[in-house]
């Protein structure tokens, strides 16, 4: 397995291009199953998760061509050969469950493996299933699979999510576009990835209102046609790289960055002593002056502070002046980066969903272990300003969500290299 070696190397300066959003692309790709006409995505990120979704769609008989070095995905599901998403692909990536709604809506049947949990939590899919049942789906769970049927097609229904769920909102939204009648989804997720999906579906002929708010209203249509759609900028990659100059010093422009994608995150950066300036080409980030100040963080559904930036923010706060309290409200086990940061000298007390971080002057490089996607990159961020070398092992987690991380950080002066594993 590969590892990444990063050495504290002083301030960073230059530009980092931000790619298309992994979590938007992973829901836009299954949308191709809703139409027998081609759907083409541009600004697609080059990530292993995208390759996994490609294999899944191809296993159903969809055509997926990766063009222009992976930045364009030309897809067509004109002649599907299967409606079954097999366990051996689904277990690699939970987002595979997002083929359930589209298959059910278009074909009236789907067999999808239950994704199982992952490092950060149990991550059930009960809300995906309840929302589809509200549209008339008949579901049978056995042998680790969901056997879904909608004889005569899905019917418009109303469903209020008991908690905000990004994936369940996406599955229900896609399914509702072809349901007979009107569907109302209440307490729906408001993430930019949902807005991006709604905009793409509308280009395909869907009738959707309310994206970005907590209530989505969808008027089902007979069929959807093809479209071409650019994947929205990745707000989590953006936030991640905004923290690089905040941690290491210097000034970096994040090309393609948009302030509306990271509002709550920027408020916390401002309070911590990091300046964010909008430019015609993106966002420029620099530490204001002196040491980073401690701030308290609580993760919430959008537009609150994103759970996917919690680990990275913790890396910044490890060397802040004062004590910060981070509350992880979305997932039950998302502090696995804490023990690894403590190997680097961080002072962190974790109790349940709360982590108290007491800032130290400087971290010391050490060999550390990546446990999940966002934890991996928080260790790299910490290594940028640590004294000496930090070796982050098991970086296959990293490649799921960050394209060419060592290239992007080297380009602004970081001392970072990938060590090919056995």
- 26 near ligand EPZ, judged by CB under 6 A: yes
Give the relative orientation of helices 192-203 and 166-176 as an angle to the nearest 10 degrees.
Answer: 10
Using the minimum distance from each CB to ligand EPZ, give the nearer residue, 253 or 302. 302
- 408 near ligand EPZ, judged by CB under 6 A: no
DSSP type of residue 222: S
Using the minimum distance from each CB to ligand EPZ, give the nearer residue, 83 or 94. 94
Count the Cβ atoms, other than its own, within 10 Å of residue 312. Answer: 28
Q: What track of x and - describes contact with ligand EPZ for positions 373 through 392 (by CB under 6 A)?
A: xx------------------
Q: What track of x and - describes contact with ligand EPZ for positions 300 through 319 (by CB under 6 A)?
A: -------xx-----------
User: Strand runs (DSSP E) across 124-188, as ranges?
Assistant: 138-142, 145-149, 158-160, 182-186
Beta bridge partners of 350: 355
CB of residue 77 to ligand EPZ, shortest distance in Å: 20
CB of residue 63 to ligand EPZ, shortest distance in Å: 23
Helix (H, G, I), strand (E, B) or coil at 73: strand
**Residues with catalytic roles:** 118
Using the minimum distance from each CB to ligand EPZ, give the nearer residue, 125 or 284. 125
Applying CB under 6 A, among 51, 84, 91, 123 the residue interacting with ligand EPZ is 123
Piece of 40-48, 118-126, 211-219, 257-265 that binds ligand EPZ (CB under 6 A):
118-126
CB of residue 41 to ligand EPZ, shortest distance in Å: 15
Helix (H, G, I), strand (E, B) or coil at 175: helix
Measured CA to CA, the distance from residue 395 to residue 420 in angstroms comes to 10
Residue 280 neighbours by CB under 8 Å, 6+ apart: none
Measured CA to CA, the distance from residue 399 to residue 395 in angstroms comes to 7
- 167 near ligand EPZ, judged by CB under 6 A: yes
Phi and psi angles of residue 90, each rounded to the nearest 5 degrees, phi first: -60, -35
CA 265, 267, 269, 271 torsion-angle sign: negative
Using the minimum distance from each CB to ligand EPZ, give the nearer residue, 167 or 365. 167
- 121 near ligand EPZ, judged by CB under 6 A: yes
CB of residue 168 to ligand EPZ, shortest distance in Å: 5
DSSP type of residue 181: S
Using the minimum distance from each CB to ligand EPZ, give the nearer residue, 268 or 374. 374
Applying CB under 6 A, among 19, 83, 114, 128 the residue interacting with ligand EPZ is 128
Using the minimum distance from each CB to ligand EPZ, give the nearer residue, 164 or 244. 164
- 168 near ligand EPZ, judged by CB under 6 A: yes
CA 331, 322, 358, 365 torsion-angle sign: positive
On whether the CB atoms of residues 192 and 302 are closer than 8 A, the answer is: yes
- 397 near ligand EPZ, judged by CB under 6 A: no
Measured CA to CA, the distance from residue 268 to residue 298 in angstroms comes to 10
- 126 near ligand EPZ, judged by CB under 6 A: yes
- 194 near ligand EPZ, judged by CB under 6 A: no
On whether the CB atoms of residues 132 and 148 are closer than 8 A, the answer is: yes
Stretch 353-372 residues interacting with ligand EPZ (CB under 6 A): none
Stretch 82-101 residues interacting with ligand EPZ (CB under 6 A): 94-95
Piece of 1-9, 22-30, 33-41, 386-394 that binds ligand EPZ (CB under 6 A):
22-30
- 53 near ligand EPZ, judged by CB under 6 A: no
Using the minimum distance from each CB to ligand EPZ, give the nearer residue, 32 or 319. 32
- 173 near ligand EPZ, judged by CB under 6 A: no
3-state secondary structure 333-397: CCCCHHHHHHHCCCEEEEECCEEEEECCCCCECCEEECCCHHHHHHHHHHHHHCECEEEEECCHH
Give the relative orientation of helices 310-317 and 373-385 as an angle to the nearest 10 degrees.
Answer: 20
Interacting residues toward ligand EPZ by CB under 6 A: 22-23, 26, 94-95, 121, 123-128, 163, 165-168, 307-308, 330-331, 373-374, 401
């Amino acid at each position: 397995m590969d590892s990444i070696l990063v050495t504290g190397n002083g301030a960073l300066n230059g530009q980092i291009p931000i790619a298309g959003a992994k979590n938007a692309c992973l829901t836009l790709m299954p949308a191709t199953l809703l139409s027998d006409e081609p759907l083409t995505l541009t600004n697609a990120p080059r990530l292993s998760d995208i390759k996994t979704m490609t294999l899944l769609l191809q296993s159903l008989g969809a055509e997926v061509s990766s063009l222009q070095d992976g930045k364009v995905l030309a897809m067509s599901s004109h002649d599907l050969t299967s409606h079954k998403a097999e366990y051996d692909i689904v277990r690699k990536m939970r987002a595979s469950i997002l083929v359930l709604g589209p298959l059910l809506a278009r074909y009236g049947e789907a067999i999808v493996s239950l994704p199982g949990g992952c490092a950060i939590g149990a991550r059930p899919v009960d809300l995906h299933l309840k929302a589809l049942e509200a549209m008339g789906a008949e579901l049978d769970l056995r042998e680790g699979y969901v056997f879904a049927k909608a004889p005569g097609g899905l019917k418009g229904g109303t469903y209020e999510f008991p908690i905000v769920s990004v994936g369940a909102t996406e599955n229900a939204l896609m399914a509702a576009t072809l349901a007979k009648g009107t569907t109302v989804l209440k307490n729906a997720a408001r993430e930019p990835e949902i807005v991006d999906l709604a905009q793409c579906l509308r280009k395909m002929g869907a009738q959707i209102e309310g994206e970005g708010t907590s209530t989505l209203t969808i008027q089902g249509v007979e069929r959807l046609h093809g479209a071409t759609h650019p994947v929205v900028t990745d707000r989590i990659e953006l936030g991640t790289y905004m923290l690089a100059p905040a941690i290491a010093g210097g000034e970096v422009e994040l090309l393609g960055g948009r302030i509306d994608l990271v509002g709550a995150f920027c408020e916390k950066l401002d309070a911590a002593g990091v300046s964010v300036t909008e430019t015609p080409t993106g966002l420029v980030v620099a530490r204001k002056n002196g040491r980073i100040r401690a701030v308290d963080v609580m993760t919430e559904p959008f537009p609150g502070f994103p759970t996917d930036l919690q680990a990275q923010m913790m890396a910044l706060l490890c060397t802040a002046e004062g004590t910060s309290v981070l509350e992880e409200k979305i997932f039950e086990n998302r502090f696995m980066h804490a023990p690894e940061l403590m190997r680097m000298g961080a002072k962190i007390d974790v109790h349940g969903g709360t982590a108290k971080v007491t800032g130290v002057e400087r971290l010391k490089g050490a060999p550390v272990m990546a446990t999940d996607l966002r934890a991996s990159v928080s260790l790299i961020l910490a290594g940028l300003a640590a004294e000496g070398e930090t070796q982050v092992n098991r970086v296959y987690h990293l490649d799921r969500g960050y394209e060419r991380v060592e290239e992007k950080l080297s380009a602004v002066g970081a001392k970072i290299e990938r060590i090919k594993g056995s």
